[in-house]
Amino acid sequence: MNRAAASHEVDGGPLIRATSDRDVLAEAAGLTVGYGGVAAIENVSFRVRRGERIALLGPNGGGKTTLLRSITGEADRISGSLRVSASWATVPQTERSRLDYPVSALDVAVMGSLASLPWWRQPGRRERAAALQALERVGMVKLAGATFGELSAGQRQRVLIARGLVQDAGLLLLDEPFTGLDASSSDRLETLIGALATEERGILIATHDLEQARRWDLVVCLNRRQIAFGPPGEVLNLAVLEATYGGAIVAIPDSGGLGILPPHHHHQS
């Protein structure tokens, strides 16, 4: 990958030079966001371009969801800048969607079509076909008629992804989409994410799975502030992981020597 040198300072700092690149879907510089004026993550700078899969890493409470919410507008921007230049679709962390609604999986997928319809138009045959196609892609077409609230957590996750697909957004925000998926669904979703990336979408994925993150294009490490941003091979070193997850957690024997670098590769500024 010959991307512009991404910065990965451990202590943050003013980072990315603004570009007028048409491929840029979202860009944050020195962004601090929070809730009710209280900062939750500080000094975040990253850039999402077409075709990039970006992992958001961090401990519980580290700010992954908050970062996604800064794009959806649910978290308040306190300082810094954020530019979002594409439509976005979001798949929230499962426990947040409503299980008591009288809707089928297909109904939920069809919701994705509303954004592109003018306010007086109702989803019709074409929108239903698109929704079914999206359900097909996530392997849920057989359960299209099932009540959403009665699906398993992993199945619901997939239906919500189908809704995002129907939305046909440039920027996909997936908040821990792998939680609750079995191995085959998980593989399938990863393949899907890869396919979506080749369709020129930008995908932000909050995850707790380091191995997965290594297979993607970029990572953002968060722990109440940005620890690092860059290609996983460069960024995921011991110091960053220590700063991200806290010292105790950094026993990473399962890494199989895959690019865990000794803590000297970063430049202190």
Partner 1 sequence: MLDPFQLPFVQRGLLELLILSIPAGLLGTWIVLRGLAFFSHAVGTAAFPGLVLADGLGFAAPLGAFGAAVAFSAGTAVVARRRPGDQDSLTAMVLVGCLAIGVILASDVFRSGSNVETLLFGSLLLIDGRDIALAAAAAAASLGAAVLFGRRWLAAGFDPTAAKSVGAGAPYLQIALLGLIALATTAALSVIGALLVAALFVVPSATARLWTSRMLSWQISSVVLVAVEGTAGLWLSVKTNAPPGATIATLSGAVFALAAAARAMPRPGRRTCLSAAVAAVAFLVAGCSSVASNDSGKLQVVATTTQIGDFVREVGGNAVAVDQILQPNTDPHEYEPRPSDIEGAAGAKLVFANGDDLDAWIDQVVSESGSEARIVDLGAAVPVKLPGESSGAEASRYDAHWWHDPRNAEAAVEEIRRALIEAEPSNAAEFRRNADAYLGKLRALDRGIAKCMDSVPATQRKLVTDHDAFGYFAKRYGITVVGAVIPSQTTQAQPSAKDVSDLVNLIEREGVTAVFPESSVSPKLAETIAHETGASSDHTLYGDTLGSKDSSGATYLQMEAANADAMVQGFSGGKRSCSIHGIG
- Name the residues that contact ligand ATP, by CB under 6 A: 35, 40, 58, 60-66, 93
Minimum distance of partner 1 from residue 37's CB (angstroms): 13
Query: 124-163 mask for partner 1 (x: CB under 8 A)?
Result: -----------------------x------------x--x
Q: Which is nearer to Mg ion, 94 or 116 (CB)?
A: 94
User: Which residues have a Cβ under 8 Å from the Cβ of 251 and sit 6 or more positions away?
Assistant: none
Which is nearer to ligand ATP, 74 or 242 (by Cβ)?
74
Q: How far is the CB of 266 from partner 1 (least distance, A)?
A: 35
Binding track, positions 48-77, relative to partner 1; x by CB under 8 A: ---------------------x--xxx---
User: Residues 6 or more apart from 198 whose CB is under 8 A from it?
Assistant: 51
CB of 49 to Mg ion, least distance (A): 24
Of the candidates 116, 133, 179, 186, which one interacts with partner 1 according to CB under 8 A? 116
Using DSSP bridges, classify how beta strands 171-175 and 202-206 pair: parallel, antiparallel or unpaired. Answer: parallel
Give which of Mg ion, partner 1, ligand ATP, none residue 40 binds (C-beta under 5 to 8 Å, depending on kind).
Answer: ligand ATP
- CA pseudo-torsion sign 64, 218, 182, 90: positive
Is 108 one of the binding residues for partner 1 (CB under 8 A)? yes
65, 70, 207, 226: residue in contact with Mg ion (rule CB under 5 A)? 65
Nearest one of 233, 251, 232 to 242, comparing CA atoms: 251
Residue 166, CA distances (Å) to 60, 120, 139, 170, 228 in order? 30, 19, 14, 11, 33
Q: How far apart are CA 177 and CA 230, in angstroms?
A: 22
Cβ–Cβ < 8 Å for 168, 126: no
